[in-house]
Structure 1
Amino acid sequence: MRMNRTLIAAATAVLAVTAPGTALAATADDAAPSACRPANHLARIAQDQSSASHLHFRVTLTAPAGYATCRLAGSPTDVSFSEDGSPLPVTAGSYGDQTGVVTFGPGRPVHFDIQVRNNGRTSPADEASFTLHGPGGAIPGTSVAEGAFVVSEGTLVGPVQPGA
């Protein structure tokens, strides 16, 4: 076993030298942590294009280099909103196809939509917390996204989609 590890390490070093910038698959002994874990990705909220009846805010998730790609599915759940650290009394539902699966990781950002009724009764918010899901169920932990946005009763969260 020690000989195999030595050979794998030598081959990896040769590949890294001969193919700079090439992503190498991690071995079982040094597997990179999953980008889907809340501590391993960044999330930012920004205003998106609105319609006549709804405001839309895009939550973009990115993962720094060094994390393993993973798969996400459906809309985030357990979504809560706050403003300056104070929780807002808004419960978010979900909309859209909850069966689609996307790959997320370094160089593969994903996003989801926060859809808010444009009824003039919105509350400012600056943080959303949520639970992501993979094809097999919830991913442990709570992710947090920051940015200026608004919420109201009837706020919905769309499924995770590929791209920023």
Structure 2
Amino acid sequence: MLVGAAGAGVAQASAPTAAGIATTSACRPANHMAKIAQAPASSGHHHYRVTLTAAPGYESCRLAGSPTDVRFYRHGTPDAVTAGQYGPQHMVVTFGPGHPVHFDIQVPNRARSTSADEASFTLRTPDGVIPGETSAYGRLTVTSGTVIGPVQPRA
């Protein structure tokens, strides 16, 4: 009986979660890193690129659309800015070791923007969301009207 219980624990360590993401998946927040960097501006907007990378040893996974539940922080204090989404939400990309991905944070040029140094968000799959929250770090400014683009291949 004890051997069976130990074997069940090992099987659960790599079993799919409710969203279909294995614990060794690069998509799980603990298995990847995210970094914010300034990107070229467009007419009327600042842009920031959030790049996600996974370390070797994790399984590739599929992501789709813009991250959800995006929140911005400055020195750990949450900002009241709520981000929307833009762009096609159906495109599926592969993410994993050697396959970094990125998404865009588009911020309107406004006098009343707020500085931030962290963004937290929930990644989406073609079938739902990935349990847990990813945090990305880097300097940016946000304001009302900020929108998040869909995940794209390559960094």
- The residue that corresponds to 1:75 in the other structure is 66
Identity of aligned residues (%): 62
Across the aligned residues of Structure 1 and Structure 2, the Cα RMSD in angstroms comes to 1.5
- The residue that corresponds to 2:29 in the other structure is 38
State the Cα distance separating 1:119 from its structure 2 match. 1.6
Look up the equivalent residue of 1:33 and give its one-letter code. Answer: T
Deviations along 1:27-64, one digit per CA (max 9) or x if unpaired, are x89x8800000000000000000012000000000000
Three-state SS of the structure 2 residue aligned to 1:49 is strand
Larger Cα-atom Rg = 1
Partner Cα separation in structure 2 for residue 137 and residue 52 of structure 1: 33
More strand by share: 2
> 8 Å contact 1:32–1:67 — kept in the other structure?
no
More helix by share: 1
- The residue that corresponds to 1:135 in the other structure is 126
TM-score, length basis structure 1: 0.80
- The residue that corresponds to 2:83 in the other structure is 92
TM-score, length basis structure 2: 0.85
Structure 1: any 5+ residue segments left out of the alignment?
A: 1-27
| Match for residue 103 of structure 1 among 94, 113, 122 | 94
Number of residues paired by the alignment? Answer: 136
Which ranges of 4 or more aligned residues in structure 1 deviate by more than 3 Å?
A: none
Look up the equivalent residue of 2:93 and give its one-letter code. Answer: V
- The residue that corresponds to 2:112 in the other structure is 121
Structure 2: any 5+ residue segments left out of the alignment?
A: 1-13, 16-21
- The residue that corresponds to 1:157 in the other structure is 148
